Amino acid sequence: MGTVGDTSARDYTELRPEVGSCYANGWRRIRPYFVELLLITIVYFAVLAPAGALSEAGDEVGRGGSGWKALALIYLILVVAPIKYGVAYAYMKAARGDALKVSDMFDVFGNYLNAVLGNLFVFTVIGIGIVLFIVPGVVFACKLAFVPYLIVDRKMEVVEAVKLSWSMTSGHAWTIFLMALLSVPIVIVGLACLGVGIIGAVILLGLAFGSLYHAVSSREETPQQT
């Protein structure tokens, strides 16, 4: 199942690396890609579910549940995290108007090791930053926001992706921060809609952040094409 992309010069000129523009573009993309995005999101939630089940099993066992919790952690690192990168890539394809297939979320396995290592690196750096009075963690999270896209979209290695994300987000960190803040009420509204709305909230957020990456990366590429 796929959707014919509608990328045009108009997309590049209208989409700006701004909060309103990125969310507006995400909203516009929901309808033409709804079926694919819905299936991708449902599959991701299905992949995520075993981690919760393993963790709950550990809680029920009590003291002897450390093994179950270890399995849950390994599953999160080796399966859930890489697929989350793939889902971000799929949302980004829809955000830029490319043809989209549900199987695109598994393109991450073409650069699997770097996806695993990239996620571990980003998680560790942000975690250390949060321990250091929170603010550094927020800064690191904003500066490394493009790592998932670069690893899957451009097939980059971890070090390359980290360096380029740090560079690409220069001048856009506040935009990323504000978009993240706006995601809080969007998720709350989604949860308030009997919980089902959370799927729509996740899709909108994925498209909005994918739009930001697309807006920034397309502006970088434009001078090279002229």
- pLDDT by residue (tens digit) across 146-156? 999 999 999 99
Spell out the alpha helix ranges (H) of 96-157. Answer: 112-131, 135-143, 147-153
- Tell me whether residue 225 is in a domain: no
Which residues span the domain enclosing 62? 2-219
pLDDT band per the 50, 70, 90 thresholds, residue 165: very high
Query: Nearest-CA neighbor of 211 among 147, 146, 165, 167?
Result: 146
pLDDT band per the 50, 70, 90 thresholds, residue 133: confident
Q: Are 113 and 143 in contact (CB under 8 A)?
A: no
- Tell me whether residue 53 is in a domain: yes
Q: Which residue has tokens 């697309």?
A: 214
- Tell me whether residue 93 is in a domain: yes
Both structure tokens of 94:
């829809």
Which range (72-76, 116-120, 169-173, 191-195) has the least confidence?
191-195
> Which stretch of DSSP H or E encloses residue 110?
none
Q: Tell me how far apart the alpha carbons of residues 207 and 183 are, in angstroms, rounded to a whole number.
A: 12
Total number of domains constituting the chain: 1
Spell out the alpha helix ranges (H) of 8-80. Answer: 9-14, 19-30, 34-61, 66-75
Rg of the chain in Å (alpha carbons): 18
Which range (4-13, 28-37, 55-64, 73-82) has the least confidence?
4-13
Q: What is the largest CA-CA distance in the chain?
A: 64
- Tell me whether residue 224 is in a domain: no
- Tell me whether residue 83 is in a domain: yes
Q: How far is CA 57 from the centre of its chain?
A: 28
User: Does residue 63 have a pLDDT over 50?
Assistant: yes
> Which stretch of DSSP H or E encloses residue 101?
strand 100-101
Q: How far is CA 193 from the centre of its chain?
A: 23
| pLDDT above 70 as % of the chain | 89
Q: Tell me how far apart the alpha carbons of residues 114 and 129 are, in angstroms, rounded to a whole number.
A: 22
pLDDT value for 120 = 97
pLDDT band per the 50, 70, 90 thresholds, residue 7: very low
- Which of 62 and 173 is assigned the larger pLDDT? 173
Return the DSSP state at 97.
T
Q: Are 118 and 141 in contact (CB under 8 A)?
A: no
Q: Which residue has tokens 């994925």?
A: 206
Nearby residues of 207 by Cβ (< 8 Å), 6 or more positions away? 25, 26, 27, 29, 30, 37, 91, 94, 95
- Tell me whether residue 226 is in a domain: no
